[in-house]
Every structure is written in C-alpha cells, then in structure tokens.
C-alpha cells in the first residue's frame, strides 16, 4: 500500500516540474472549460458533443474527454493526483492525434489554409509535458508533495 501511495503522490522537489505542470494545467483547463462550460469563447458540452459526433466520436467518449481535459487541467494547476491526470491527458491527446491531427501532417496550419486542419506537433508537445509529470511527479508547491514529502 505504501508503494502505491508513493507511486501516485510521490514527487521530486523540482521547480522545473512546477513550471511544466502549471503551463500544462492552464492549457488543458482552458480548453476543457471551453468544451464543458462554454467559457473562453468555447462551444459548451452540447455543441462539443455535436461537433465530435460529426467526426464519428460517441457522445459519452466526447464528454469523458472534455471532462478529463477540464479536471485534469485543474489537477495539474493545484498539483493533486497529477500522475493519474497525466495519464488521462496523454490518452486524450493520443486519441486526438489518431482521429484528427495525423491526417494533417506534423505542423500546425499557421497559414490557415482552407480545408486543412492542424497537424499533431502541439499535441506531441503536450504529451511530452504530461509524460514529464507522469515520470517525475508534480514538483514543488503541489498538494501531492504535501501528501508524500520527498524522501518519505
């Protein structure tokens, strides 16, 4: 049991993980809040489900992904259950790459060329950030670190 607690909550006392975790959290919370609540100019959950349904995504899977983004982002911001949240965020990004972005190649569509979406480079960067948190934990100033202090 002690090993499981260490695995979930343990973290290196890292300032760099704090930076990665906060930026990752803000990005995912903002995008998730757009999808779930319609905040920050987003569509809200019903319109998100309708849009994803056009891409063949089941409504339940869309809702789960939207809530993982929103709540996973919040988890990153406060540093609570960051490793499980990182797994969820990685899975959501892998699905986004396979279902949407891979057909558009690697690069973002900076020129906004009509009929072409963004590639997967941004998703890959988010996966790398989440993987960093999964491997090293939440870092400094996190609830996880309060639960299991370094060296416990």
In whole angstroms, give the CA distance from residue 71 to residue 29. Answer: 7
In a domain, 119, yes or no: yes
Helix-strand-coil split of the chain, %, nearest 5: 70, 0, 30
In this structure, is residue 150 part of a structural domain?
no
Report the predicted TM-score, pTM, of the whole model to 2 decimal places: 0.92
Look at residue 152 and tell me whether its pLDDT is greater than 80. no
**Domain residue limits at 134:** 14-142
Decide: 74 and 119 in contact? Cβ < 8 Å. no
User: What integer is the mean pLDDT of 10-34?
Assistant: 96
Q: How many domains does the chain have?
A: 1
Question: Is 20 inside any structural domain?
Answer: yes
Is pLDDT of 121 > 70? yes
Is 151 domain-assigned? Answer: no
pLDDT above 80: residue 128:
yes
Confidence (pLDDT) at 69: 98
> Band of the pLDDT at 151, cuts 50, 70, 90?
low
Q: Is residue 64 part of a domain?
A: yes
Q: Is residue 9 part of a domain?
A: no
């Amino acid at each position: 049991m002690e090993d499981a607690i260490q695995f979930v909550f343990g973290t290196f006392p890292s300032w760099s993980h704090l930076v990665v975790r906060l930026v990752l959290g803000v990005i995912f919370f903002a995008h998730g809040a757009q999808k779930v609540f319609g905040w920050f100019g987003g569509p809200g959950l019903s319109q998100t489900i309708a849009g994803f349904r056009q891409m063949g995504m089941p409504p339940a899977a869309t809702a789960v992904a939207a809530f993982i983004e929103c709540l996973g982002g919040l988890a990153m911001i406060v540093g609570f259950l960051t490793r499980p949240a990182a797994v969820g965020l990685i899975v959501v990004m892998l699905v986004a790459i396979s279902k949407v972005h891979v057909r558009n190649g690697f690069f973002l569509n900076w020129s906004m060329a009509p009929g072409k979406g963004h590639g997967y480079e941004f998703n890959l960067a988010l996966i790398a950030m989440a993987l960093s948190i999964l491997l090293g934990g939440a870092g400094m100033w996190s609830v996880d670190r309060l639960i299991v202090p370094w060296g416990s």
